[in-house]
Amino acid sequence: MYNKDNRKNYKPKGKPQSHKAKPNHYSNSKNNVLKDETAKVPSDEVRLNKYIADAGICSRREADKLIEAGEVSVNGEVIKEMGFKVKPTDTVKYNGKLLKKERFIYILLNKPKDYITTSNDDQGRKTVLDLIADACNERVYPVGRLDRNTTGLLLFTNDGELTKRLTHPSFNVRKVYVAELDNNITKEQLEQLTQGVELEDGFSKFDSAIYDTTTNSKKTVVVDIHSGKNRIVRRMFEHLGFEVKKLDRVEFATLKKGAVTRGKWRFLTSKEVGFLKMVK
């Protein structure tokens, strides 16, 4: 406070305040870190592991292992740095082979009996790749496996990221099978399988198990399961003393058999691919 008598000696404290509002340059963080207001220019660079995955070699996680092992070079120089970025003009090689970003292909096959799920067989047996040999020029691989005597839906792709997502145990992808047994099975036994049984490799259970309503037989069962263990459906029925005479996978993740007849295939629609990539 001051009066007329001491006005000459009054000096305002601090700097004079501007009447123009100043922009707020500070974040709400505890340290009040100055924001970077520089506009970010979009980059066409991608991480090396994504480049490898987009080339159809493997998933990003597996690509990290290839990089760490020194199996990948960029412009003639071996790269072991995680997070390394490459430009479209860079030359990327894996084991000396030039990598190029592939067009992603997605093929749905209705697998017949007596075909094995492998890329090649040294015994000369028929493989599932024989059935889609004329589908595309790109190299595609089966997502997961169906044993030789199991029929039904099998997906093929060169999309390493999606393959990893649909086969990794942590995602617990849903599968639906129709199983034809050698004898009638009771409701109590079906309930036992949904509650779970202890197998040699641990506890397993069906999410649901009901009689197939399209038949009047108590030998035919529709089972819903998320486990990806090898031959899990057959082994669970065998645990109760049943032999599975026929096993047909009618649903896989978000895909259904629809009009794809046995031994035939079709390309997935972009909508179907989108739904698959949303699987959690």
Residues 160 and 265 in one domain: yes
For residue 202, what are the contacts with CB-CB under 8 A and spacing of at least 6?
none
The band of 18, judged by pLDDT with boundaries at 50, 70 and 90, is: very low
Instruction: Specify the pLDDT at position 41.
Output: 43
CATH of the domain at 238: 3.30.2350.10
Q: Output the pLDDT for position 88.
A: 83
Are 145 and 266 contained in the same domain? Answer: yes
Shared domain check, 263 and 165: yes
**What tens digit of pLDDT does each residue of 197-228 get?**
999 999 999 999 999 999 989 999 999 999 88
The DSSP string of 182-220 is SS---HHHHHHHHH-EEETTEEE--SEEEE-TTSS-TTE
Please report the pLDDT score of residue 228 as a whole number.
Answer: 84
For the cut 70, the answer to whether the pLDDT of residue 271 exceeds it is yes
Flag the least confident range among 96-100, 130-134, 181-185, 208-212.
96-100
**210: β partners:** 222
Closest CA to 242 of 171, 193, 176: 193
Domain annotation covers residue 20:
no
Model confidence band, residue 47 (pLDDT cutoffs 50, 70, 90): very high
**How confident is the model over 4-20, as a mean pLDDT?**
48
Calpha distance 203→229 (Å, rounded): 11
Q: Are residues 237 and 184 in the same domain?
A: yes
Query: Running DSSP on this structure, what letter comes out for residue 49?
Result: H
Residue 3 in domain = no
Task: Look up the pTM and report it.
Answer: 0.69
Domain identity same for 165 and 266 = yes
Domain assignment of residue 41, yes or no? no
Instruction: Report the alpha-carbon distance of residue 128 to residue 118 in Å, rounded.
Output: 7
Strand pairing of 150-157 and 244-252? parallel
Catalytic residues: 147
Check which CATH number belongs to the domain holding 65 and give it: 3.10.290.10
- Distance, in Å, from the CA atom of 219 to the CA atom of 244, rounded to the nearest integer, reads 9
For residue 43, the model assigns a pLDDT of 62
The kind and range of the H/E element at 203 are strand 202-204
Predicted confidence at residue 169, as pLDDT, reads 78
Task: State in Å, rounded, how far the first CA of the chain is from the last one.
Answer: 68
Residues 261 and 152 reside in one and the same domain: yes
Provide the pLDDT confidence category of residue 21 given band limits of 50, 70 and 90.
very low
Q: Is residue 114 part of a domain?
A: yes
Domain count, the chain: 3
Give me the CATH number covering residue 130: 3.30.70.580
Which helix H or strand E contains 68, and what residues bound it?
A: helix 60-68
What pLDDT digit, counting tens, does each position of 153-178 carry? 999 998 888 998 898 877 889 999 99
Residue at 237 is within a domain: yes
Provide the pLDDT for residue 236.
97
CB 37 within 8 A of CB 29: no
Angle of helix 270-277 relative to helix 160-167, nearest 10 degrees, comes to 50
pLDDT at 24: 45
Whether 231 and 123 map to the same domain: the answer is: no
Asked if pLDDT for residue 262 goes beyond 90, the answer is yes
Res 119 pLDDT > 90: no
Structural domain for 242, as ranges: 174-252
Residues 185, 179: contact at Cβ < 8 Å? Answer: no
The residue among 223 and 119 whose pLDDT is bigger is: 223
